[in-house]
Amino acid sequence: MSDRQASVHAIYRYPVKGLSAEPLPRTRLAPGKTIPADRRYAIENGPSGFDPAAPSYLPKIRFLMLMRNERLARLDTRYDDATHALTIAESGRERARGNLSTAEGRGAIETFFAGFCADELRGPPRVLQADGHSFSDVARKVVSIINLASVAAVEDAVGAPVEAGAQDDDLLGPPAERIGEAIVDVPGPDRDRAPGAGPVAVDEGPRHGGADPRQPRQTKRPPEA
């Protein structure tokens, strides 16, 4: 294992699966856990079989997701931990708002998606949540890390900008295996191995202007650490 020290350029969470990333100035990691509130909610696309009383992994095709529902990229969403309020805007105009901890609030969000994604729905959309559950793309709770040097190499190969957060990654940074005081067990291609580090506060380094990672980066190479 290398002793090189990582520099974390950005930290993001996705409170609602498939919707906007939210930049975090810092976060705290713990064994077997995601970034707090990451993929806490999902929007069911027709009956999924999800049981909040016995939550378990389901493939992302059961939910609204950017890969198949590209119109979601037009939305700017923000989630407030204190009030559980999700706000949805499009082109700078608020389209919906709801408290996801109440039936009325969830209903407001579900009504919006029933109209916004009408021709892509397999049934009524429903906001899903279960205590302690993350609607991740893999069965285990993980923190997804993207290597910005790899992004730059791909950009060189294809001669075009690459969206660094296109795979819904949580941490963006240059190549290294050591983050702060933690040693991170980086998942392989199957993305099913969890970090092997103890609890650690992870402070970000220089960031790309706080932009949503789904927007193309303006610099061809990541900034020097």
**Domain range summary for the chain, segments of one domain joined by +:** 10-34+138-203, 42-128
In the predicted model, residues of the chain with pLDDT beneath 70 are 1-4, 163-225
Per the prediction, the chain carries an average pLDDT of 78
Q: What is the pLDDT of residue 172?
A: 57
Q: What is the pLDDT of residue 58?
A: 96
Q: What is the pLDDT of residue 214?
A: 44
Under 8 Å between Cβ of 34 and 191: no
Question: pTM for the whole thing?
Answer: 0.72
User: Over the stretch 136-193, which tens digit does the pLDDT of each residue have?
Assistant: 988 988 888 888 888 888 889 888 887 665 455 665 555 544 433 333 434 444 433 3
Q: What is the pLDDT of residue 200?
A: 34
Q: What is the pLDDT of residue 48?
A: 96
